[in-house]
């Protein structure tokens, strides 16, 4: 199994992350447990910034908090000097409670409600990424009504869809997000935004996909967006000063995944921006990227305790863990694949093939098919890697399973950053109508 960040196998033959023995972590905090390698997250934040610093461009690296949002994570991102992308009042509230500088927050979303827009205006959010005509009009009215003029970008769909290993340059016109470029909607949106009171249009945003392993798709998107910058400059004598190219940089979940390094993505983006803008006689804009998965994904590992197992002779051995699709819905949703080891017996030969089942009442609740492990027994600790992004953030209480705790580990120290939910938490918002309070059976 590939060891990410500070992960290593220690003298006891156990998986260690951030200098903490994961078997001890499981004992101290219980399982399932999300373990975040703090140093690795910080290193990646710095790698993105460093890569941009070398390009000479003005830039912002905005962490896409949908990947993993919590007070400690927002604080870490603030400490590292990144900006933040939020897509709801909830993500905005979390950031604000963490003391995140609001002027470095970008507010995204394809259906921001009037209340959410109002809240963001009241908070003084740095920038709104406007997705559609409804929002443009609504935001303009709300901001104007408050005597504000707020910085906005327009999200456009440049007709590029990037997948893991390839990009399709026509595929993504049919998207729920943004103003379509091919049909001319994007131009109408620019024209409309430039005369909408309450907003100040500073550029465009595009996001071409997620878990991307190549740079060609970004280059094509940048070229199409640069054409719109040129058109705007010629038509309205307005020169946009910012360009947001979204996130989507891939990570290594399994051996077949071959992601580029942060600096490779950044260099390719910077080169494309410089050449596409120079050729049109335009000044370089400030470039914004929004990595989510690539900042936290590989830095997160989930620890589970193995419970029951079942062998169907000649067919398969299942081992079941104390979590599942409730804490990691990605295998069930996207057929996502993961690597895993027995954290307490990390050096033992993997001589058995097992499939890892979750504990939810659903056949689809499988975390890993056909995993090589040492013969696993009840109470072994299974560590599943690359669960830092879109795991806690998409976790549910299906089957009324309490959501796991999360810890930041660093230099041998483990800090609880999210408490484990209790059974009481599960019914905290439940109410019994008064007419139902008579004792059952009386």
Among 163, 207, 242, 403, binds ligand LLP (CB under 6 A): 207
Q: Give the shortest CB-244-to-ligand LLP separation in angstroms.
A: 8
Q: Give the shortest CB-52-to-ligand LLP separation in angstroms.
A: 16
Check binding of 269 to ligand LLP (CB under 6 A): no
Tokens of 29: 């905090």
Q: What are phi and psi of 102, to 5 degrees?
A: -60, -30
Check binding of 100 to ligand LLP (CB under 6 A): no
Candidate ranges 42-50, 76-84, 245-253, 375-383; the one touching ligand LLP (CB under 6 A): 245-253
Check binding of 91 to ligand LLP (CB under 6 A): no
State which residue, 37 or 85, has the beta carbon closest to ligand LLP.
Answer: 85
Angle at 333 between CA 329 and CA 339, to 5 degrees: 65
Check binding of 292 to ligand LLP (CB under 6 A): yes
Check binding of 18 to ligand LLP (CB under 6 A): no
Check binding of 210 to ligand LLP (CB under 6 A): yes
Site string for ligand LLP, 362-401 (x = CB under 6 A): ---------------------------xx-----------
State which residue, 62 or 138, has the beta carbon closest to ligand LLP.
Answer: 62
For the chain, give the secondary structure using H, E and C: CCCCCCCEECCCCCEEECCEEHHHHHHHHCCCEEEEEHHHHHHHHHHHHHHHHHHCCCEEEEEEHHHCCCHHHHHHHHHCCCEEEECCHHHHHHHHHCCCCHHHEEECCCCCCHHHHHHHHHHCCCEEEECCHHHHHHHHHHHHHCCCCEEEEEEEECCCEECCCCEECCHHHCCCCCEECCCCHHHHHHHHHHCCCCEEEEEEECCCCCCECCCHHHHHHHHHHHHHHHHHHHHHCCCCCEEECCCCECCCCCCCCCCCCHHHHHHHHHHHHHHHHHCCCCCCCEEEECCCHHHHCCCEEEEEEEEEEEEECCCEEEEEECCCCCCCCHHHHHCCCCCEEEHHHCCCCCCEEEEEECCCCCCCCEEEEEEEECCCCCCCEEEEECCCCCCHHHCCCHHHCCCCEEEEEECCEEEEEECCCCHHHHCCCCCCCHHHCCCCCC
State which residue, 344 or 391, has the beta carbon closest to ligand LLP.
Answer: 391
Check binding of 159 to ligand LLP (CB under 6 A): no
State which residue, 14 or 106, has the beta carbon closest to ligand LLP.
Answer: 106
Candidate ranges 24-32, 180-188, 243-251, 376-384; the one touching ligand LLP (CB under 6 A): 243-251
Tokens of 296: 């936290």
Give the Cα separation of 159 and 207 in Å (integer).
10
Residue with tokens 């890993």: 368
Q: Give the shortest CB-294-to-ligand LLP separation in angstroms.
A: 6
Check binding of 67 to ligand LLP (CB under 6 A): yes
Site string for ligand LLP, 107-146 (x = CB under 6 A): -x--------------------------------------
Q: Give the shortest CB-154-to-ligand LLP separation in angstroms.
A: 13
Check binding of 88 to ligand LLP (CB under 6 A): no
Among 32, 126, 247, 374, binds ligand LLP (CB under 6 A): 247
Binders of ligand LLP in range 328-357 (CB under 6 A): 330, 334
Q: Is 386 a catalytic residue?
A: no
> Total residues at the site for ligand LLP (CB under 6 A)?
19
Among 291, 300, 324, 358, binds ligand LLP (CB under 6 A): 291
Check binding of 290 to ligand LLP (CB under 6 A): yes
User: CA-based diameter of the chain, in Å?
Assistant: 83
Q: Which of 20, 360, 361, 386 is catalytic?
A: 361
Q: Give the shortest CB-280-to-ligand LLP separation in angstroms.
A: 25
Candidate ranges 5-13, 88-96, 140-148, 241-249; the one touching ligand LLP (CB under 6 A): 241-249
| C-alpha pair distances (Å), 264 with each of 268, 269, 440 | 6, 9, 65
State which residue, 14 or 293, has the beta carbon closest to ligand LLP.
Answer: 293
Interacting residues with ligand LLP (CB under 6 A): 64, 67, 85, 108, 207, 210, 246-249, 290-294, 330, 334, 389-390
Residues recognised as catalytic: 361
């Amino acid at each position: 199994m590939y060891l990410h960040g500070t992960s290593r196998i220690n003298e006891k033959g156990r998986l260690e992350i951030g200098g903490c023995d994961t078997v001890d972590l499981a004992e101290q905090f219980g399982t399932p447990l999300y373990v975040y390698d703090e140093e690795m997250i910080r290193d990646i934040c710095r790698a993105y910034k460093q890569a941009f610093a070398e390009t000479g461009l003005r830039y912002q690296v905005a962490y896409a908090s949908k990947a993993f949002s919590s007070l400690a994570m927002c604080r870490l991102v603030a400490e590292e000097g990144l900006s933040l992308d939020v897509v709801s009042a909830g993500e905005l509230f979390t950031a604000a409670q963490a003391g995140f500088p609001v002027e470095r927050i970008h507010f995204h979303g394809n259906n921001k409600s009037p209340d959410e827009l109002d809240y963001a205006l009241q908070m003084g959010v740095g920038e709104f990424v406007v997705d559609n005509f409804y929002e443009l009009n609504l935001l303009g009215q709300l901001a104007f009504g408050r005597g504000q003029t707020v910085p906005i970008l327009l999200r456009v769909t440049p007709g590029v869809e990037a997948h893991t290993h390839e990009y399709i340059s026509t595929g993504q016109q049919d998207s729920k997000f943004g103003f379509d470029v091919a049909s001319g909607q994007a131009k109408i949106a620019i024209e409309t935004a430039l005369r909408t009171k309450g907003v100040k249009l500073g550029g465009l945003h595009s996001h071409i996909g997620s878990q991307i392993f190549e740079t060609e798709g970004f280059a094509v998107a940048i070229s199409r967006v640069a054409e719109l910058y040129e058109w705007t400059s010629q038509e309205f004598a307005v020169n946009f000063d910012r360009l947001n190219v979204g996130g989507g940089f891939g990570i290594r979940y399994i051996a077949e995944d071959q992601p580029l390094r942060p600096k490779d993505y950044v260099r390719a983006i910077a080169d494309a921006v410089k050449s596409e803008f120079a050729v049109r006689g335009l000044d370089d804009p400030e470039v914004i990227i929004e990595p989510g998965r690539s900042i936290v994904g590989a830095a997160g590992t989930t620890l589970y305790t193995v419970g029951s197992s079942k062998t169907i002779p000649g067919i398969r051995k299942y081992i079941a863990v104390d979590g599942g699709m409730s804490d990691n819905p990605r295998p069930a949703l996207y057929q996502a694949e993961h690597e895993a080891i027995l954290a307490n017996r990390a050096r033992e030969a993997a001589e058995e093939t097992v499939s890892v089942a979750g504990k939810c009442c659903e056949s689809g609740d499988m975390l890993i098919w056909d995993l090589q492990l040492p013969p696993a027994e009840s109470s072994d600790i299974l560590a599943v890697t690359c669960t830092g992004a879109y795991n806690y953030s998409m976790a549910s209480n299906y089957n009324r399973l309490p959501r796991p705790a999360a810890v930041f580990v660093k230099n041998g120290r483990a800090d609880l950053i999210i408490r484990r939910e209790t059974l009481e938490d599960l019914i905290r918002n439940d109410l019994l109508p008064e007419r139902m309070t008579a004792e059952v059976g009386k």
